[in-house]
Structure formats: structure tokens, C-alpha cells
């Protein structure tokens, strides 16, 4: 190939390369999605029904299960109910560890949550999903004063 042809081919490739880098010639990457605003739901919990099924050794032991339901209130008004269960997964003296699942029915849909919970403590549950307005929900449900008249849920979710 002659020197003129090599220069012409090389020069042409350089021009194509510069055009590809020119502003507007390459689509810009999509803008980062802004984080979804957190929605906070605060509920008072009225313990409704509760049963402990003793399936292992007599007394609280591995495999036993709590099943419960609650009535949910906001500003003194009933807004829903829940139901859940916790299975005893580890016993170390008075320290009882359970695996818990919870489903809440609220006016705009349902929320589901789960956690490993140590009996007698407050703690967070992972919000794992929902239905209706909550179908894409993710976040945490923090329970305080479990199984007392002052039990509360503070749910922080993004949709």
C-alpha cells in the first residue's frame, strides 16, 4: 500500500474516532436513579390471640412454635390486623432464639416481614415484600415492647 493510502486510511479512522467522542455523538449514560423516599408507618399493637405449641421436650424447647394475631391501630383508630408465628430454633438456658414471620393487613395492602428474634428483646424484622400499594416494599419493621400492652411497630420502607 502506498504511503498516501496508509495516511488516508489512518487519517479517516482518526476522524471517525474523534467524531465518536464528540459531545452528543455518544448517548450519555442514564442518570442515577434518585433514592426512593422512605415511608414511615407507626402502629400500636393490640395483642389478640396467642398459643404456644409444645412439640419437643416438655416445656419450651427446640421446635416449639408461637402462633399469634394482633389488631393494629394508628391514632387510636383500628387500621388493620396481623398474624404470625415464631419457631424455636435454639435454646441456651433462658436465651430462646426463634425464626419469626409476620404478615400485616393494612388499608392499602399487605406487608410481610421476617427475622431471627431472641425472646424478650426488641428488634428489627426485614420487610420482605407486600401487595397493593406495598408490592415493591423493602425495609425494616422495628418491634418494641413485644407481647405487652405497649407493643408498637415502626415500619420504614421504600417502595
Q: Domains plus CATH for the chain?
A: 39-158 (2.40.480.10)
- The C-alpha atoms of residue 147 and residue 46 are separated, in whole angstroms, by 9
* 108 close to 89: Cβ distance less than 8 angstroms: no
> Does residue 89 sit in helix, strand or coil?
strand
The one-digit pLDDT tens for each residue of the chain (159 residues) are 544 444 444 444 443 343 344 445 445 555 555 567 899 999 999 999 999 999 988 999 999 999 999 999 999 999 999 999 999 999 999 999 999 999 999 999 999 999 999 999 998 999 999 999 999 999 999 999 998 999 999 999 999
DSSP annotation of 33 reads P
* 97 close to 117: Cβ distance less than 8 angstroms: yes
Owner of C-alpha cell 426512593? 36
Give the end-to-end CA distance of the chain in Å, rounded to a whole number: 63
Which candidate, 125, 112, 110, 122, places its Cα nearest to that of 146?
Answer: 122
Report in angstroms the alpha-carbon separations of 128 from 74, 110, 159: 22, 11, 11
104 sits in which H/E element: strand 95-106
Q: What contacts 3, CB < 8 A, 6 or more positions away?
A: none
**What are phi and psi for residue 11, nearest 5 degrees?**
-65, -40
Amino acid at each position: 500500500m502506498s504511503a498516501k493510502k496508509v495516511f488516508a486510511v489512518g487519517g479517516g479512522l482518526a476522524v471517525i474516532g474523534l467524531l465518536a467522542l464528540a459531545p452528543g455523538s455518544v448517548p450519555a449514560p442514564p442518570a442515577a436513579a434518585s433514592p426512593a423516599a422512605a415511608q414511615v408507618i407507626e402502629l400500636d399493637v393490640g395483642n389478640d390471640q396467642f398459643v404456644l405449641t409444645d412439640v419437643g421436650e416438655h416445656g419450651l424447647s427446640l421446635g416449639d412454635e408461637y402462633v399469634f394475631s394482633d389488631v393494629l391501630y394508628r391514632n387510636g383508630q383500628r387500621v388493620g390486623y396481623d398474624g404470625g408465628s415464631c419457631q424455636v430454633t435454639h435454646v441456651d438456658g433462658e436465651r430462646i432464639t426463634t425464626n419469626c414471620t409476620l404478615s400485616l393487613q393494612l388499608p392499602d395492602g399487605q406487608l410481610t416481614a421476617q427475622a431471627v428474634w431472641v425472646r424478650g428483646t426488641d428488634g428489627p424484622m426485614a420487610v420482605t415484600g407486600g401487595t397493593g400499594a406495598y408490592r415493591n416494599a423493602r425495609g425494616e419493621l422495628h418491634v418494641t415492647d413485644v407481647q405487652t400492652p405497649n407493643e408498637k411497630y415502626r415500619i420504614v420502607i421504600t417502595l
